[in-house]
Structure 1
């Protein structure tokens, strides 16, 4: 069997091969950096969301004759101001779960 031996590349061919290798290395590193950036962004979004908001239907029972005066958001709380027969009451709920967190009553002194 005869083996064909590749002739030594000329100086111009060697320079061209080195340039192609350098460009391939740059393209490979750029691709790896882009893939790493996408994976970091996905990981950040997964761990930063703190769970997704679950749609919940909640029925809050108000005392007889009560009416809602105003509502608002304060941080991660839902705030509801009620007028109950002349007395003012503020109720707070967790904005994510809608679970009651507290209430504050205002009454007039006799």
Structure 2
């Protein structure tokens, strides 16, 4: 069988091959860096330590005659709107621990 022998590249061709190899190396390193950044971001999201969620049972005592009008979640707060004898009151609780975070009362001017 006859083998085809590739002629030696010229000086211009060798320079072009070297430049293409360098560009491919840069592209490969950039791709590897991007894949590593994505994997780090995914790992951070999966394994960041916010603490485990603990189920808590909490009893909050309402004033006599009060009734719950509405509830809502705002960020990391639980908001409870109460009607206390005709006056509106808003109580907020931490959504993670259910500890009271604030109280806002609305009353009419006399």
The correspondence of residues 29-68 of structure 1 with structure 2, limited to 5 A, is 37=39, 41=42, 44-47=45-48, 49-68=49-68
Q: Which residue in the other structure is 2:29 paired with?
A: none
Give the C-alpha shift of residue 93 in structure 1: 0.3
The correspondence of residues 64-75 of structure 1 with structure 2, limited to 5 A, is 64-75=64-75
Say how many residue pairs are matched.
Answer: 75
Deviation digits for residues 37-74 of structure 1 (CA, Å, limit 9, x no counterpart): 5x985564222x41121000000000000000000000
Q: Which residue in the other structure is 1:90 paired with?
A: 90
1:43 and 1:56 mapped to 2: Cα distance? 27
1:82 and 1:40 mapped to 2: Cα distance? 43
Please report the TM-score for the alignment, with normalisation by the length of structure 1.
0.60
Please report the TM-score for the alignment, with normalisation by the length of structure 2.
0.60
Where structure 1 has 5 or more consecutive residues not aligned to the other structure, the ranges are 1-32
2:51 and 2:76 mapped to 1: Cα distance? 14
**RMSD, aligned CA:** 2.2
